[in-house]
Structure 1
């Protein structure tokens, strides 16, 4: 992971980003989302700050169990992406809101197989729906953002169903919170958190 601020193709400021026109009601929301947007340290930090989020686990998804290790995934040939598993209370935060933050704050969805200087398919932009409802909502939101011209470049986020999520090694969990002065966290995660606090203060934990 390189200590370089990722570029961005964002056209709309996060607080003017459209809400999903199609979302899940609480009684049909699984309360679990798996999202990949580059370095999992940074994506984890964004979602861990949200009210209604019970836990965020960094891990790997897209490949086999025997290659779900940091050393293997860093090689870029396992099929895995660095991702986070977010467990949340759908009565407090909705799947559509998680998607809105995924696209507007957590990463740049126009960068294919990379985020800034982090390069390779393990850093791809991807949503791993846990059910058909999530896939439908995510697909519709991507189309909505494209039609709204939310970005100055095409969205390259993939929807990848049917994969198992594997938690990463313990030292990756809560990394940003435990290492706030680490250079990568300062240069990449902190700007995302600053954007989150500025644009969506009402969504944050006390």
Structure 2
């Protein structure tokens, strides 16, 4: 814990991000099946929260999905006083780096967002880590914002577990909705603002490329901005 805190402090002092740790290999996209349980959420914009490692990539992928009107990087869980990058990245809080997605279910359903999440956003077999990033604040988690979303999420994870798409068990958590705190401004639209950043090029741009190739019907070339 102290080592992570010290590392985070050094990286912040150097102007670096914990999302910029050394990388070894790119993650692999997996073609998750369509959900057997289709979400029925009714009219009007809906919100959902997804955690899947560094929020830059999570936001970047969902920002390229048709029907998504907003994707905001932030911190889910914990307290407002602790909801800062410096504290969350130290690993001493209960937060997870997460993205609040606002979407129109007439264009893209919640079950479709889940399919995208498991296919190209996060590896569901990674516990308290994603790619090069380590720690509980990088955990994979789905945060349903309604009873319908909760049912759809549980049913879909059960479906994926039965399909045995991965060689290891699915450890992605379904967490109860708590307070969501938007991250600092420099984290918002990070992929859009920094397309040549080494972390974006190695880890996140391939996820958007996979989204376009695997789900062209929901892919949007324009980057959704808040």
Is contact 1:9–1:152 with CA below 8 Å preserved after alignment?
Answer: no
1:144 to 159, 164, 167: 159
1:184 to 189, 199, 214: 199
**Runs of 4+ in structure 1 displaced over 3 angstroms?**
5-10
Q: CA deviation at 1:162?
A: 3.2
Say if 2:23 is the partner of 1:4.
yes
- The alignment's C-alpha RMSD in Å is 1.7
What's 2:174 paired with? 159
What SS does structure 2 have at the residue aligned with 1:36? strand
Larger gyration radius, structure 1 or structure 2: 2
Which ranges of structure 1 fall in alignment gaps of 5 or more residues?
A: none
Find the aligned partners of 1:6 and 1:126 in 2 and give their Cα distance: 22
Q: CA deviation at 1:136?
A: 1.1
Distance 1:110-1:132 versus aligned 2 partners, 3 A rule: same
Greater Cα shift, 171-180 or 161-170: 161-170
1:85 to 67, 77, 100: 100
Find the aligned partners of 2:44 and 2:165 in 1 and give their Cα distance: 26
TM-score (norm 2): 0.85
Q: How do residues 38-187 of structure 1 correspond to structure 2 at under 5 angstroms? A: 38-187=53-202
Find the aligned partners of 1:70 and 1:22 in 2 and give their Cα distance: 36
Q: CA deviation at 1:143?
A: 0.6
Is contact 2:35–2:111 with CA below 8 Å preserved after alignment?
Answer: yes
What is the aligned residue count? 202
Q: CA deviation at 1:23?
A: 2.2
TM-score (norm 1): 0.93
Q: CA deviation at 1:73?
A: 0.3
1:19-55 per-residue CA deviation (whole Å, 9 max, x = no partner) reads 1111222417861110000000001000000111101
Which ranges of structure 2 fall in alignment gaps of 5 or more residues?
A: 1-18, 222-226
Q: CA deviation at 1:133?
A: 1.4
Find the aligned partners of 1:128 and 1:29 in 2 and give their Cα distance: 19
Q: CA deviation at 1:177?
A: 0.6
Is contact 1:38–1:107 with CA below 8 Å preserved after alignment?
Answer: yes
What SS does structure 1 have at the residue aligned with 2:72? strand
